[in-house]
Structure 1
Amino acid sequence: MQTSSSTLPAKAATTNGTKDIGRLVVSCPDKPGIVAQLTQLLGEHGANIISLDQFTTDPENGTLYQRTVFHLPGLAARREGLEADIQATLAEPLQMDWKLTDASKRKRVAIFASKTDHCLLDLLWRHRRGEIPMDVVMVISNHPDLADQVRPFDIPYFYVPVSGDKKDAERKHLELLNGNVDLVILARYMQIISADFLEEVQVPVINIHHSFLPSFIGAGPYQKAKDRGVKLIGATAHYVTKDLDEGPIIEQDVIRVSHRDSTGDLMRSGADVERGVLSRAVTWHCQDKVMRDGNTTIVF
C-alpha cells in the first residue's frame, strides 16, 4: 500500500448556514396521528420545523417514511435529551426506526477509483467548492495513475494493488476505512466488491455505472451500443449490495444520441451523464434525503 500523504487532513466539521439545524428521518408502520405526534414533540423541545416531507407506501397497513428538518437553538447541547424523548415517546410505542443528524456535521467520505477520472475529479471539484456537504478524507485506487490529479486537492491518495486473492487488498481497505468514514463512493472503481467487505465496512457504499447494463456487459460497452444503434444512453447510481449491480437505485438519467455520434461521442456524453447522476446521488445521501424500502428508495 502506498500513499501520497501520510496523514489524513484536518478539515472543518461544520458547514456555513447549518448551525443548530437538525434532520430527523423516521420510518414505521403507518397509522393516523404519527406526523402530529412527531411535530408536537419537536415543538415541546423548542424546535421550529423548516421542512417536512413524508410518504406512505399504503394508507392501510403501509410504512410511513418522513424527513423533518428543524432549527433548535443549542442543538448540540440539547440533542441527548431530544433523542431520549424520541426513543421513549415515539420509537418504542410506534415501532419506529429513526436517525437524528446535525446538519453541520458533514459526512466523511472515501472515494474509490481506478484509471477513469471524470467522476472522481468532478466530486473533488464539487467538494472543494462546497457544493456537497461532505469531507473527502481519502481516495483509494487499485492503480497509481490518478495520484498526480488528486494531489492539488490536498487529499491523501492510497494506492492498494489488487491481484490474485482480493482479500488482502480488502483487508488493507478496511484498515484505512474503519472508524474514518461514513460513506464509500465507487467512482468508476473497476473491481467487484465482496459481500464480506460490505458486511465489515459498516457504512453505505454508492456505485455509478452506465445504464447499458445488463444489455452491454463486459469490455467496450460503448462500442457495443454503437454497433446496436442505441438512441439513449444514461447512468445509474445505486447502493451496493452483495448482488452485483442490483442494489437500490438512488438516481438515473439519460440523454439522446444518434447514428451520427461516434463511439467517442457516446463515451463523452456518457461521462457527462455519469458525473451528474453520481453527484446528485451523493448530495442527496449526504443531506439524509434517501431512505431505503427493501430494494427500492424514497428520495425526498
Structure 2
Amino acid sequence: MIDSHTKNRARLLVACHDQPGIVSEISTFLYSHYANIIQSDQYSTDPEAGMFFMRIEFYWNDSRTSFQEIRRDLAPLAEKRNFEWRIEKASRKKRMAIFVSKESHCLSELLWKWRAGEFHCEIPLVISNHNETRAEVESYGIPFHKIGVEKGNKTEAEEKAIRLLHDHEIDVIVLARYMQVLSPTFVQTFPQRIINIHHSFLPAFVGANPYARAFDRGVKLIGATAHYVTDDLDEGPIIEQDVLRVNHRFTARDLRVAGRNVERIALARAVHWHLHDQIIVHNNKTIVF
C-alpha cells in the first residue's frame, strides 16, 4: 500500500560503469537538495570493470526544494559521472493498459489486485481481439475496446491500438495472455514498456497444446515466465519466473490449472515491480531490486 508520505517521495534508478565515489556523490547531491534517503539498494557486476546499478528512495523537503529542481540538477551530475538515470515520483500513478484474448485468469488477477489497492496505477482501458472478457472488464468500470485481428488487417489493428494507447498516455502495457504476436513497429513504439507472460515449457513444448505435450512427457515442474517484449519472440529480458511441482497423478487438465496459477503469480509480481520502479534493464537482463 502507498503510505501517507509519498507526496514528497521519489525513486532514483542509476546505471553506469562501476567507479569509486558514485554512491557518495549521489548521496551528497541529495543531501544538498534537502532530501533524506529512505531506502538504498545497489549491485555491481564487477567492482574492477563492471556495471553498477542502484535504486534509491528518498523524501525531499518541499519547503526547501522542489522535485523539478532535483530532476534539473541531476542532469549535469549524470553527464559528469556518465550514468544513465531515471527518477519518478512515488505518488504518480502509472497508466497501465491490459491486452487479453479469450483466457481471463491473468486479467482477473490484475483487475482484482488493482481494485484491492495492491497496484498503484490507473487502468484507462483494456484491449482485446475477442469479446469474451468484456463483461468482466466493464464490471470494474474500465472501458473495453475490441480490436479484431484478422488475416490481412494486422497492421491496421495495431495502428488503431497504438492510437488508443497514445490518446490515453499509457505508461506500461501488460499482455495478459494476449494471443497475438506484436510487430516490430509496435514493440519499438513502447520499448521496455510491454510485459508478457508465457508458460516456461518453451522451447521444449512450443506450439499448440503445450500442457498436453507436457503430460505426455511426464513433466515434474510447471512454470511460467514474465518478461519484457522485444522483437525476438519470447526472448526479452526476464523479470520473474515461478514453478509448481507436479507428479504422475496430474492429468493434462490438472497441469493446465496449475500452469494458470503460476502464470497469474509471476505476471502479478512482474507488474508490481515495474509499477514500483524496481527494475533496471541492461542488455537482455534485468536487475530487480
TM-score (norm 2): 0.96
Write the distance in 2 (CA, Å) between the matches of 1:116 and 1:75.
50
1:265 aligns with 2:254: yes
The answer to whether structure 1 residue 42 and structure 2 residue 30 are counterparts is: yes
Q: Which runs of 5+ in 2 are unaligned?
A: none
Q: Give the alignment partner of residue 109 of structure 1, picking from 77, 83, 96.
A: 96
- Identify the match of residue 78 of structure 2 among 91, 106, 126: 91
Q: Which residue of 1 aligns with 2:130?
A: 143
Given that 1:16 and 1:104 are in contact with CA atoms closer than 8 Å, whether structure 2 keeps it comes out as no
Show the 5 A alignment for 1:88-237: 88=76, 90-165=77-152, 166-179=154-167, 180-201=169-190, 204-237=193-226
Q: 1:262 to 1:163 in 2, by over 3 A?
A: same
Compute the displacement of 1:141 (Å): 0.2
In structure 1, give the amino acid aligned to 2:270: A
Match for residue 71 of structure 1?
Answer: 59
Aligned-residue offset at 1:152:
1.1
What amino acid does structure 2 have at the position aligned with 1:145?
E
TM-fit CA distance, 1:203? 5.9
Number of the residue aligned with 1:6: none
Structure 1 residue 73, shift from structure 2 partner: 2.7
Residues 222 and 263 in structure 1, CA contact (< 8 A), matched pair in contact too: yes
TM-score by length of 1: 0.92
SS in 1 for 2:242: strand
Cα deviations by residue, 1:134-184 (Å, 9 ceiling, x for unpaired):
111110000011101111110010000000121010001001001520000
Local SS of the residue matching 1:252: strand
Asked if structure 1 preserves the Cα contact closer than 8 Å seen for 2:127 and 2:147, the reply is: yes
SS of equivalent residue, structure 1 residue 178: helix
Unpaired segments of 5 or more residues in structure 1? 1-13
Q: Counterpart in 2 of 1:276?
A: 265
The equivalent of 2:228 in structure 1 is 239
Tell me, in whole angstroms, the C-alpha distance in 1 between the residues paired with 2:113 and 2:267. 12
- Counterpart of 1:32? 20
Aligned counterpart, 2:11: 23
Check 1:79–1:289 CA distance in 2 against 1; reply closer, same or farther (3 A cut). Answer: same
The alignment's C-alpha RMSD in Å is 1.6
* Structure 1 segments of 4+ aligned residues over 2 angstroms from their partners: 14-17, 73-77, 200-203
**Structure 1 residues 89-122: Cα deviation after superposition (integer angstroms, max 9, x where no partner):** x201111111110000011000000000000011
Counterpart-to-counterpart distance in 2, 1:107 and 1:46: 26
Contact residue 42 and residue 52 of structure 2 kept, 8 A? yes
1:29, 1:140 → 2: CA distance? 40
1:297 aligns with: 286
Q: Percent identity?
A: 48
Query: 1:79 corresponds to which letter in structure 2?
Result: F
Tell me the CA shift for residue 280 of structure 1: 0.4
Structure 1, residues 67-87: CA drift from partner, whole Å, max 9, x if none? 000011329970121112111
Change (3 A) 1:193 1:228: same
Q: Residue 29 of structure 1 contacts residue 94 of structure 1 at CA under 8 Å; is this kept in 2?
A: no
Cα distance in structure 1, aligned partners of 2:23 and 2:191 = 30
Q: Is the 8 A contact 2:192 2:229 kept in 1?
A: no
1:28 Cα deviation from its structure 2 partner? 1.2
72-81 vs 195-204, greater mean Cα deviation: 72-81
Mapped partners of 1:150, 1:193: distance in 2: 22
The letter of the residue matching 1:104 is: S
SS in 2 for 1:64: strand
